[in-house]
Structure 1
C-alpha cells in the first residue's frame, strides 16, 4: 500500500497482545489508524500500545475476557468515546483446543473454544454494527483458520468453531452489503505465533491430526504475513471483496 491507507480511521483488533493480533495492530497503526488493542493480558496489551506510540502511532488498550459481555461493551464504547467511531473491526482473538476428537472432548473444552472463537466475535460484531451502520461504512475481518476449510487441521471444538466463523462471515457479507459494510476472513495455516497446543499424547485426536498436518502443510508463515492480508481485506483496495475467506497458508488448502 502507498501512503497511509487507514489515516484517521479507528480500528479494533482483538487478541492484539501477541501473535497475529499484535502484528495487525502495529500494521494498522503504521498506516495511520487509531488502534484499540483488546486483549486478555494487561501487560501484553500495554506493551503493544507503548510500541505503537513509540513509533508515532495512536493506540488504546482495553483489557478483559471477550467471552464476557461487559468486556465486549467496554471495547465498543471505548473506541467510540476515545476515537469518535469504528471503521474496522478485526475479530482475531481465539484459543486452540487440545486436538481432541469429538468422543474425547469434554464440555469445558467445547464451551471455552466455542465461547472465545465464535460467541465472542458474534457479540462484538453485534455491538459494533450500529456504529458502522450509522456511518454507512465499515470493514470487518475475522481470523478463521485452515481448520475452517478442512476437517483434519485441529480437534472437534476448534474445527467446529472456525467452520462456524466462515458461515458467519458469509452471512454478514450478504446481510449488510447494501449498507456499506464488508465482512471477510483470513484462513491462516501454520503461523509462528508462540501458541502452544496442550494435546494429550495418549489421545486419539492428536494422533490422527498430527499425521495429516505434517504430511500436507507448507512452510510456517510469519504473523506479519497474516497481518498484511488482514490489512488488505480491510482496506479500500479490497472495496469490492466481500464474503471471502482468504487462505494464507502456502497453498495448504490447495492440497
Structure 2
C-alpha cells in the first residue's frame, strides 16, 4: 500500500472518552456552513465555458482541466469519504458506543453534503459516480475503521491544501478553504477518538516544522487512493 495511505491501529485508547454534545454541535455547524456556498460555486462552474466535459470511458474517469478539473478531483474524494462513512454507519463495528456513533454519523452527513454540493455545482461537467473498493477494510473492527477514517481525513486535508493553488477563480478557492477546514475538524476528532486527550489531534506526522498542514499534489493523492476505487482516475490536466 502506498505510504501516504497507511492505516494505523487504535492504541492507548480509553473507551467512551468523548464529548458528543460539544463535538456534535461544531461538526453539524461546520457542515451547514459549507452547504451555503453552493450557489456561488455553481455560478463559477457555469461561467467556465472553456472547460471540457469530463466523464467516464469504461473503467477510466477523466477529471478534466482548469477549475472544473480541480472541483471534480475534490468531488471524487468526497464520493470516497461519503461511501466509507455510510458503510461504517450501515454496518457498525463491534462495541461502537452511542457517542462514537453520533460523531461518525455527523461526519457521514457532512461528507454526503460535500459530495452532493460538488455534484450539483458541477452539473453536466461532473464526473460519474465512482465505485468504492473497501475490500481491505474490516468494518467489524474498531481499530480498522478508525485507522481508515484517520487516513482518509488526513489525506483529504493534504489533498485540498495541495490543489488550492491550482484554482484560478477566487470564489472557488474560498469555498475550497471552507471545506478543507471542515475536513480538518473531522481529522482532529477521529484522531482524538483513537487516542483521547492526547496531542495527536495535530501530530507531527501531518504538520511541518512551521506548524502547517502538509500539502500534497493531486497526482500523488490519486496514486494513493487508487486502491480504494474500482475505476482508474485520470487527473493529468487538473488545474491546467
TM-score by length of 2: 0.31
Name whichever structure is richer in helix by fraction: 2
Name whichever structure is richer in strand by fraction: 1
More relative contact order, 1 or 2 (CA 8 Å, 6+ apart): 2
TM-score by length of 1: 0.30
